[in-house]
Amino acid sequence: MTQINTFRAGPDERGHFGIYGGRYVAETLMPLVLDVERAYAAAKADPAFDTEMARYLTHYVGRPSPLYFAERLTAKFGGAKLYFKRDELNHTGSHKINNCLGQILLAKRMGKKRIIAETGAGQHGVATATVCALFDLPCVVYMGAKDIARQAPNVFRMKMLGAEVRPVTSGSQSLKDALNDAMRDWVANVESTFYIIGTVAGPHPYPAMVRDFQSIIGREVREQMHAAEGRLPDTLVACVGGGSNAMGLFHPFLDDPGVTMVAVEAAGLGLDSGKHAATITGGRPGVLHGNRTYLLQNADGQIEEAHSISAGLDYPGVGPEHAWLNDMGRVQYVSVTDDEALEAFQLCSRAEGIIPALEPAHALAHVAKLAPKLPHDHILVMNMCGRGDKDVFAVADKLGVKL
Amino acid sequence: MTGRIARRFAALKTAGRGGLVTFVTAGDPDFDTSRAIVENLPEAGADIVELGMPFSDPMADGPAIQAANLRALKSGASLARTLELAALFRARDADTPLVLMGYYNPIYAMGTERFVARARDAGVDGLIVVDLPPEEDEELRVPARKSGIDIVRLATPTSDDARLSTILASASGFVYYVAVAGITGTKSAGRDSIAAAVARIRKRTALPLAVGFGIRTPAQAAEAANLADAAVVGTALVAEIAACVEAGKSGEAAEAVLSAVRKLSAAVRAGKG
């Protein structure tokens, strides 16, 4: 591992984490992106912003989310002591609301009149639609046509919340194309519109800003673990698509050398199949959607379609800070297949009475490999970043059950 | 020695007229048709040829140019093939400036130094990389300028005075004014808004100024070329290709584009003098 004083100082003033990150956007957007950066810096320095955020997080989202000792799975795995950070219990069912709340408060401060967002699994779309209802702002959510078909419950939820869901039929019709169309909307509506990006990617300041809003997860775990065990955890595990729940859990612990961190990517049908979404494991650095990061791409630099059973991980890029943490050796990046995630999905449902989203089911599938090899006094925390209600139709279909 | 871009704008000035910049995507709908289009553009009246480098995710482009990118990629286009097309163009035409326009990732994948060397050998004069703002473009700009290739910067309706200074500080060749905030081929800007922007940019740079985005008709092209130094037409030409492909008559795409260019050129040439 490269020796540096801190892993928590990034990004630099232009948004770089090592060679990653930055601001690769069309010139029309540059002034706006710089505005967002200035506004966010001002908000961060304003205690009133913090107070307002804390009030909503407590009384609207329901934070802190519990840190739960998964006793039955711990016994089943027979090794490490397993805790779940229960962010699936948040209002709207995932960690996405933490970030949406922060960004919409910022949008209000900036006087923006309209919100747009992209979504894959629909969790970020639902969270965005939710805060837009709460703050009475019109909301347009871009969603790949393929994802609309496999995440029907979330599409309906967004509509109930008053959002307009715009199907994206270009390219692979999934998250990457939803991002393209959201950026096209943004560039045409720069004055009025705030783009709530759902993950730790995009042009600076988004990766750092989304990480900051999600870091509440790791800060709570620190406190809760201190209360529960009187010490720091040994290993943190989280799934990674764009990587916002993982950054949120990891960031407060990056400078604790005793804490091992594992990020789990989606291996789809297998890394060798060419049908996967394991960007760091199977990709290489490139530039897309406003930042330099690892991408799934061909030799010519054309972006390839990702594949995962989980719509939330089905993205050919990853947040730039993850790219950097990988290169620095601070976080370990592994991958888990569709089938392994599906098995973990069922295991968790029966063993703990918690139906996980397919995204954290990937994290759990890796925990299932890791935990048995670790001693009983090893403390492992997994981020249960979303609940599985939205996935029941897709899983039933996969298991050959007709609903 | 000044480059082809500077020489061409100087010649236009002497002739007392604005120029026509034509955009098509390289390899759209296939390499041979695209070659037949590109090689004949100067004869049809294009003063500067802009060639799109196909990319899977053209975020700043509207549906027409998105489709053009995908048609090209589907028929085997790549950055290497685009450079081949550039070289073929240059072999037939020593004077018409050739500008490549596209997104950064394919260039980054090839390696900026290697790309610049190959572009120089192919006779490329300028580069427009849509998602590479001045803050991030040093790794391409430095080798490109060393090879005599201009980095053409975009100014937009959202560029305030401070931003214009950043954009113009290391601009070369010409400045491309994006007349509407948005993607290609959608809205059109009014005459007054273009005129005001041109005046504002002219105060800050001596570089020639081309205006693009939303310019479709010969009349619009003539007006924009009149207000600035050149007008860029892209989507309207790409739409000619799409219409032929959709009608199952790809063989007629070249003539359709060239015929449209002749009309645009006639209007632009009649516009001043």
Convert the pLDDT of each residue in B32-50 to its tens digit: 999 999 999 999 999 999 9
A367 touches A340 (CB < 8 A): no
What phi and psi, each to the nearest 5 degrees, are found at residue B100? -95, 135
Query: CA-to-CA distance for B192 and B255, rounded, in angstroms?
Result: 34
Q: Do A307 and A146 touch, CB atoms closer than 8 A?
A: no
Structure tokens at B203: 């105060």
Which of B50, B125, B137, B240 is labelled catalytic?
A: B50
Whether chain B has a CB inside 8 Å of the CB on A13: the answer is: no
- Residue B243: CB atoms within 10 A of its CB come to 13
Task: Give A291-346 pLDDT, tens digit per residue.
Answer: 999 999 999 999 999 999 998 898 999 999 999 999 999 999 999 999 999 999 99
- CA distances for B45 relative to B5, B23, B40, angstroms: 16, 13, 9
pLDDT for the residue B186: 84
The whole-number average pLDDT for the span B104-126 is 98
3-state secondary structure of A113: coil
The model's pLDDT over A64-107, given as tens digits with 9 standing for 90+, comes to: 999 999 999 999 999 999 999 999 999 999 999 999 999 999 99
In terms of Cα–Cα distance, which of B273, B148, B135, B152 is closest to B207?
Answer: B152
Residue A28 to residue B135, Cβ atoms within 8 A: no
In this prediction, residue B272 carries a pLDDT of 52
Average pLDDT of the residues of chain B: 96
Strand arrangement, sheet containing B175-178: B150-151, B126-129, B98-102, B48-52, B19-25, B230-233, B209-212, B175-178, B153-155
A162 at B interface, C-beta within 8 A: no
Nearest to B66 among A170, A188, A297 (CB): A170
Per residue in A113-149, pLDDT (tens digit) is 999 999 988 999 999 999 999 999 999 999 999 889 8
pLDDT score of A173 more than 90: no
Q: If we measure between CA atoms, which residue out of B223, B238, B253, B266 comes closest to residue B47?
A: B266
Which of B158, B159, B165, B188 has the highest number of chain A CBs within 10 A, making it the mutation to test binding with A? B158
Cβ contacts of B153 on chain A, cutoff 8 Å: 27
**β-pair type (A164-168, A193-195):** unpaired
CB burial string B31-53: b at 16+ within 10 A, e below:
bebbbebbbbbbebbbbbbbbbb
Residue A206's pLDDT is 98
CA distances from B80 to A32, B115, B118, B150 (A): 34, 9, 9, 20
State mean pLDDT over A26-53.
97
Q: How confident is the model at residue A174 (pLDDT cuts 50, 70, 90)?
A: confident
Q: What CA–CA distance (Å, rounded) separates A352 from B181? A: 52
pTM for the whole structure = 0.97
Q: Residue A1 — pLDDT band, cuts 50, 70, 90?
A: low
**Any idea which residue has 């390499």 for tokens?**
B31
Q: Chain B contacts of A300, Cβ < 8 Å?
A: 78-80, 106, 109-110
Three-state DSSP state, A242: coil
Better-predicted residue by pLDDT, B98 or A312: B98
What is d(CA B229, CA A313) in angstroms, rounded to the nearest whole number? Answer: 48
Helices (H) and strands (E) in chain B, counts: 12, 9
> CB–CB of B68/B52 below 8 Å?
yes
Residue A28 has its nearest CB partner, among B107, B178, B186, at: B178
Q: Is it the case that residue B156 has pLDDT exceeding 80?
A: yes
User: Which segments of A108-154 are extended strands (E)?
Assistant: 114-119, 139-144
Q: In what order do the strands lie in the sheet with A164-168?
A: A164-168, A139-144, A114-119, A193-195
- What letter represents residue A368's amino acid? A
Confidence of residue B273 (pLDDT cuts 50, 70, 90): very low
Q: From edge to edge, which strands make up the β-sheet containing A290-295? A: A16-17, A20-24, A290-295, A284-288
Q: Find residue A288's DSSP bridge partners.
A: A291
Give the residue on A whose Cα is nearest the Cα of B62. A184
Residue B85 one-letter amino acid: L
What are the structure tokens assigned to A337, written together? 């297949």
Using CA coordinates, name the residue in chain B closest to A33.
B158
Q: Is pLDDT above 60 for B1?
A: no
Query: Whose CA is closest to B121, among B163, B154, B91?
Result: B91
| pLDDT given for residue A2 in this prediction | 56
Size of interface A-B (CB pairs under 8 A): 119
Task: Judge contact between A236 and A381, C-beta under 8 A.
Answer: yes
Average confidence (pLDDT) over B176-180: 96
Half-sphere exposure of A220 (CA within 13 A, CB side): 24
On chain B, the residues whose CB falls within 8 A of the CB of A14 are 135
Annotated catalytic, B61?
A: yes
pLDDT above 70 as % of chain A: 99
Judge contact between A158 and A149, C-beta under 8 A.
Answer: no
Round to whole Å and give the CA distance between A138 and A113: 7
Active site residue B192: no
Residue matched to tokens 């390696």: B111
Q: Out of B63, B131, B178, name the one closest to residue A24 (CB).
A: B131
Say what angle helices B235-246 and B63-74 make with each other, to 10 degrees: 60
Contact partners, residue A111, CB within 8 Å, separation at least 6: none
**A175 CB near a chain B CB, below 8 Å?**
no
Q: What is the pLDDT of residue A151?
A: 84
CA–CA gap between residue B267 and residue B212 (Å, rounded): 16
Taking the CA atoms of A383, A385, A386 and A391 in sequence, report the sign of the dihedral they define: negative
- Residue A196 to residue A388: CA distance in whole angstroms: 23
Question: Helices (H) and strands (E) in chain A — how many of each?
Answer: 16, 14
d(CA B59, CA A297): 16
Q: Token pair 């305030």 is at which residue?
A: B160
Q: Closest by alpha carbon to B178, among A324, A188, A320, A237? A: A188
- Confidence at residue A394, expressed as pLDDT on a 0 to 100 scale: 87
CATH fold of B4-270, please? TIM Barrel (3.20.20)
What is the per-residue pLDDT for A259? 98
Residue of B136, B151, B177 to mutate, interface with A, max A Cβ within 10 Å:
B136
Averaged pLDDT for residues A379-383: 98
Nearest to A23 among B105, B135, B183 (CB): B135
Instruction: Return d(Cα A391, Cα A357) in angstroms, integer.
Output: 6
Nearest CA in chain B to A14: B135
Residue type, A9: A
Which of A20, A28, A192 should we substitute to test contact with B (largest number of B Cβ atoms within 10 Å)? Answer: A28
C-beta atoms surrounding A122 within 10 Å: 28
Q: In sequence order, what are the residues at sequence separation of 6 or more whose Cβ sits closer than 8 angstroms to the Cβ of residue A82?
A: A69, A70, A73, A74, A367, A371, A380, A382
Instruction: Parse chain B into domains and list their residue ranges.
Output: 4-270
Q: What residue type is assigned to position A248 of the chain?
A: G
